[in-house]
Amino acid sequence: MSSANIVLSVPQRPRIVSTGAALRWTLIAVALGVIGLLIAMPLASVFAEAFRQGADAYFGALGDPMAIAAMKLTLIVAAIAVPLNLVFGVVGAWAIAKFEFRGKSFLIALIDLPFSVSPVVSGLVFVLLFGMQGWFGPFLIEHGVQIIFAVPGLVLATIFVTFPFVARELIPLMQQQGTQEEEAAVALGASGWQIFRRVTLPNIKWALLYGVLLCNARAMGEFGAVSVVSGHIRGATNTIPLHVEILYNEYNFVAAFAVASLLALLALLTLAAKAVLDWRLSVSPKPGERKT
């Protein structure tokens, strides 16, 4: 290693390295301690509480019809919100990274908006729009369309909250990759769709999956915005996070933590998938190095 030469050539270096090592280990210990206290212990306690009355009680709680309805609903909401955000995210990121147009920074600000708005406000916005006292409410009720306190409202709120994840993941990467490859494809006579499918998409696929992963984790775990538009009708508009709260409030602690453990598992899976994607991202070909 070339750094070894530098260390040898500078006499003070070893001393600095040794105090640096002490500092480094202290920092690592502090970080591990904080992570253990704030993240690992609460996570472990979720499973400990969930299994406090044994595996039968645990699986009994998961097999409860209301719990199953909540899981189904959460999957439905994510299955609608995530693909839509995938499309919006790719389209938005493509427009921002590959084209110059007026109002671009405004568009970026809009995409970031859901990150900065409190989820409660995100939910209330939809109540104000589609609630019976809201702008479109009376019209919708007259035509028998239920948006809030029903699945469409949950989907809308979830889309809003998870909107930035895919685009935010893609924009820096696409900007860094530049437009040379697309320009070359145009010069070779490729159509727009061909360029997207054969040039742009392969370049961004790992970052895209990464964005989808984060988007999905948030979509399934979102509480605030969904809570405002849900109406908490059990078996109908309760997603998993809302169901956990209800069970907890009913003194049903084992069931609450059993259902919560699903969310914890989702988090662990997301983490594992994220680690794999991180690795793929780091080895993914840079623009121009890609084999065809």
Partner 1 sequence: MTRLASFLIIGLLIFGCGTLSAAETNLLNVSYDPTRELYQDFNEAFTKHWQAKTGQEFSIRQSHGGSGKQARSVIDGIEADVVTLALAYDIDAISQRGLIAKDWQTRLPDNSAPYTSTIVFLVRKGNPKGIKDWDDLIKPDIKVETPNPKTSGGARWNYLAAWGYALRQPGGNETSARDFVAALYRNVPVLDSGARGSTITFVQRGIGDVLVSWENEAFLALNELGPDKLDIVAPSVSIVAEPSVAVVDSVVDRRGTRAVAEAYLQYLYSPEGQEIAAKHYYRPRLPEVKANYADRFPAIALFTVDEVFGGWAKAQITHFAEGGVFDSIYAGPQ
**Minimal distance, residue 273 CB to partner 1, in Å:** 13
Residue-wise over 37-55: b if at least 16 C-beta within 10 A, else e?
Answer: eeeeeeeeebbebbeeeee
Residue 60 or 231 having the CB closest to partner 1: 231
**Minimal distance, residue 56 CB to partner 1, in Å:** 20
Residue 204 or 263 having the CB closest to partner 1: 204
How far apart are alpha carbons 254 and 45 in whole angstroms? 12
Residue 108 or 141 having the CB closest to partner 1: 141
Return the structure tokens found at 98: 């590959």
How far apart are alpha carbons 171 and 109 in whole angstroms? 13
End-to-end CA distance of the chain: 34
Q: Which residues are near partner 1 by CB under 8 A?
A: 72, 75-76, 79-80, 82-83, 86, 127, 130-134, 137, 141, 144, 146, 148-149, 151, 201, 205, 231-236, 246, 248-251
**Minimal distance, residue 279 CB to partner 1, in Å:** 19
**Minimal distance, residue 69 CB to partner 1, in Å:** 9
| Tokens 């400990």 -> residue | 48
**Minimal distance, residue 35 CB to partner 1, in Å:** 25
Dihedral angle of Cα 41, 47, 50, 56, to the nearest 10 degrees: -160
Residue 107 or 252 having the CB closest to partner 1: 252
Residue 33 or 138 having the CB closest to partner 1: 138
Are 9 and 220 spatial neighbours (Cβ–Cβ below 8 Å)?
A: no
**Minimal distance, residue 151 CB to partner 1, in Å:** 6
Residue 82 or 111 having the CB closest to partner 1: 82
**DSSP annotation string for 168-221:** HHHHHHHHHH-SHHHHHHHHTT--HHHHIIIIIHHHHHHHHHHHHHHHHHHHHH
